[in-house]
Amino acid sequence: MARFLDTSSDDFEPAFAGFLAARRDSEVDADADAAAIVADVRARGIDAVLELTRRFDRIDLTADTVTFSEDEIDAAIAEVPEAERAALELAAARIRAYHERQLPEDAWWTDEAGIGLGWRWTPVDAAGLYVPGGLASYPSSLLMNAVPARVAGVRRLVICAPTPDGKANPLVLLAARLAGVDAVYRIGGAQAIAALAYGAGPIAPVDKITGPGNAWVAAAKRHVFGQVGIDMIAGPSEVVVIADADNDPAWTAMDLMAQAEHDAAAQSILITTDAGFGREAASAVDRLLQSLERTEIAGASWRDHGAVIVVRDLDEAAAITDRLAPEHLQLCVADPEALSRKVRHAGAIFLGRHTPEAIGDYVAGPNHVLPTSRSARFSSGLSVLDFMKRTTLTQVSREGLAAIGPAGETLAFSEGLEAHGLSIRHRMAGE
């Protein structure tokens, strides 16, 4: 049973503070293992990758077979049922259309001193995307990572998708084809992250690595950061649902369990202005857990990390939400737009009773790679901008240098940087 909290109770603040502080990350300490694997791949390249793949994925590859061939991809795609193919095509089209609107514009202007200023956006040359294997093999995640990269203009786009026991997910390969991926490598784990960062045989190094993974993948991303860019170190998934009494408790229960079934460490929180509705929704969760296929996972998540929080009004609901800074936020209230404007910290907001977070995981269009563990306080979800960088532009004429140069010279000498000051002074003097 999830915990119940009420903001009107005298012990709410300490109880809520304890709830916020509770750890949900994996108990597995993968850092040392990941560091050793990264070092091994950096030193031995493809030999280390192949050896580790045999050990962990039970598949014997060579440098020639580490990459899926086009024929293999064609054969796998042919197995995809038509309904699933059409759904994935719709998702890819909607994700692409949304992210095309994110493309930033270059700028150039001349200010009052006659100085030309601006910026220019350019994509990274190469990106590597990680797609988990096994039970967590999600083609939707591939689209959410690969499509923005392609929209950004990334020239080379590759994927690491482990195939334990040699089993590939045809939907993942179809998603790779739809997104325009250049190569799919059948490797995973920390060794795949290291291969993308440093190169290994046929796997050329990339500039940016994105995509979810287990504790070892996350640790490996920490270790290669700086050699390459990374998206984020994501924690367990989470949702906050703000719902008033005019909702169907069964719908709310489904929304809560849609996050809980991801992972036993996931978190589902209901915030409501009606204590009776909160109890009804919790009872609906109990009934739903009797029939869910992933009931053990969802039940553990709800029992250990779930909560029902009763608030006085929606203003207080917004304030509590900002303290939670959730990955996903559903606003199941009469005026969701008004309430959304009161929330400052959330990775993604879903407005209205007919907008379940689950629709955002697949076909709505916005990215579902979002900040977790309260990091929405200072970060955003994956976007086209994650695959681009901004270069500033400056052009100073002789007249412009005369206007702003003396101030620059003064500041340079005041900081004790003589060569800086001389660089400006001699240009102003024409020497």
Q: Is 223 a catalytic residue?
A: no
Question: What's the one-letter identity of residue 41?
Answer: V
CA atoms within 13 A of residue 395's CA, in its CB half-sphere: 7
State the Cα–Cα distance between residues 372 and 16, nearest whole angstrom: 18
The Cα-based distances of 21 to 11, 14, 16, 36, 271 in angstroms read: 16, 10, 9, 31, 18
What are the phi and psi torsion angles at 212 (to 5°)? -80, 165
Given the residues 305, 328, 345, 368, select the one marked as catalytic. Answer: 328
The answer for residues whose C-beta is within 8 angstroms of residue 233's C-beta and 6 or more apart is 218, 221, 222
> DSSP readout, 55-89?
HHH-----TTTSBPPHHHHHHHHTTS-HHHHHHHH
State the Cα–Cα distance between residues 410 and 413, nearest whole angstrom: 5
Given the residues 238, 261, 280, 327, select the one marked as catalytic. Answer: 327
Closest C-alpha to 376, from 255, 269, 235: 235
Q: Which residue has the tokens 């109880």?
A: 15
Percentage helix, strand, coil, to 5, in the chain? 50, 15, 35
Q: What six digits make up the tokens of 209?
A: 């690595």
Active site residues: 327-328
